[in-house]
Structure 1
Amino acid sequence: MALLDMTWLNPPPHHSVDGDAIRVRTGKETDFWRETFYGFWRDNGHFLHRPVEGDFTAEVTVKGDYKVLYDQAGLMVRLSETHWIKAGIEYTDGLSYFSVVVTNDTSDWSLAPIPADPNGVRIRLTRHAETIRVQYLDRSDGHWKPVRLAYFPTSGSVDVGIMCCSPQREGFEVTFSGLSIGPAISRALHD
């Protein structure tokens, strides 16, 4: 994946590229969220992206130094400030969860426990027309596990890429590796 054609929304204070690995250290109190429950709007998280037309599949492996509440890293698809989805690993209640936030004007949040993996977690977002399909790779059995099917407005193009945030601190360190954005996988939901 050529990083030259990718652009930062809210560049982090530090990032570096080494082969297919992108290392990021987050800025202070960064997040993507709109209103629900907490009553605030934040659109200052770090998002490295490129435009993609039509259906697609994006994958990346995420490995972070999760220590503080809401440290998070993963993939994002974004149509606008009011329509986006972020999915990845998020630290809450002392554990790392697979987290998905779907925002269509206001945000919702879902969490699923996943097994810890010292090598990081491979995650995948796929667009099938008006649907975003969210999965992670369970290395214990080699199968992609479904996490969510979410509605997302149809459009000619969206921005797709990696995101990370640290709403309660600065300096969350995360490594993204093996980023790929390409044609959509099959619509078949079950192996």
Structure 2
Amino acid sequence: MGNMFSWLNEPAAFSGDANELHLATKEKTDFWQQTFYGFERDNGHAYLTPVSGDFTASVTVCGDYQQLYDQAGLMLRIDPQRWIKTGIEYTDGLMHFSVVVTNGTSDWSVIPLHGSTTKDEINVRLTRHGDAVRVQFSVNGGAWQLARLAPFSSGDASVGMMACSPERGGFEATFRDLTVGSAISRNLHD
């Protein structure tokens, strides 16, 4: 596992490192490929490190979610056509746990987090086992919940923190306690 991080599309402002990172987005940033909207966007912000084989990455994220599609979480990326982004996304006036899996074109799934506020700490965990990725989340240190099990290449990739604001600039997010290490158990029901 690598521990050297580098920016894919540096944000408007940032401070800290992989242990604790605060950032503010540039205007109209996103990662998306084609589906429904017909556009391609690859200008979101991601602070990534190389990974190979099986691994688990996790991070705690807080954000000032106010505008449609404000988002922050984790990204697993091979190239502009093959990636996963997951975390909190603000849509329909509510925080949602969001997963986008892209293999040429993007899909999108959301789980509404009724009762959650911007003060809540959301833990995001992404695990690759061979050619599959498991995405989980917990709210304020609660039990891990499975959000997605998806196919994904087992090849070399990069993983790390991600934030976007497709409708504005200046969305602020804070990431804490990023870990990238050995994959957790394959047991889906922990």
The TM-score with structure 2 as length reference comes to 0.94
Displacement after TM superposition at 1:53 (Å): 1.1
**Unaligned residue ranges in structure 2 (runs of 5+):** none
Q: Equivalents in 2 of 1:78, 1:54: separation in Å?
A: 13
1:24-52 per-residue CA deviation (whole Å, 9 max, x = no partner) reads 00000000000000000000000100101
Work out the percentage of aligned pairs sharing the same amino acid: 55
Equivalence for 1:32? 31
Displacement after TM superposition at 1:153 (Å): 1.7
Misfit runs of 4+, over 4 Å: none
Equivalence for 1:150? 150
Q: Equivalents in 1 of 2:139, 2:27: separation in Å?
A: 32
Q: Equivalents in 2 of 1:31, 1:139: separation in Å?
A: 26
Equivalence for 2:12? 13
Q: Equivalents in 2 of 1:12, 1:53: separation in Å?
A: 26
Displacement after TM superposition at 1:138 (Å): 3.9
Q: Equivalents in 2 of 1:92, 1:51: separation in Å?
A: 31
1:104-134 per-residue CA deviation (whole Å, 9 max, x = no partner) reads 0000000001251524201100001111100
Does the CA-based 8 Å contact 2:138-2:145 persist in structure 1?
yes
1:65-105 per-residue CA deviation (whole Å, 9 max, x = no partner) reads 00000000000000111000000000001000000000000
Q: Equivalents in 2 of 1:177, 1:138: separation in Å?
A: 14
Q: Equivalents in 2 of 1:57, 1:6: separation in Å?
A: 16
The TM-score with structure 1 as length reference comes to 0.94
Equivalence for 2:170? 171
Q: Which amino acid aligns with 1:83?
A: R
Q: Equivalents in 2 of 1:163, 1:169: separation in Å?
A: 16
RMSD, aligned CA? 1.6
Equivalence for 1:137? 138
Q: Equivalents in 2 of 1:143, 1:121: separation in Å?
A: 11
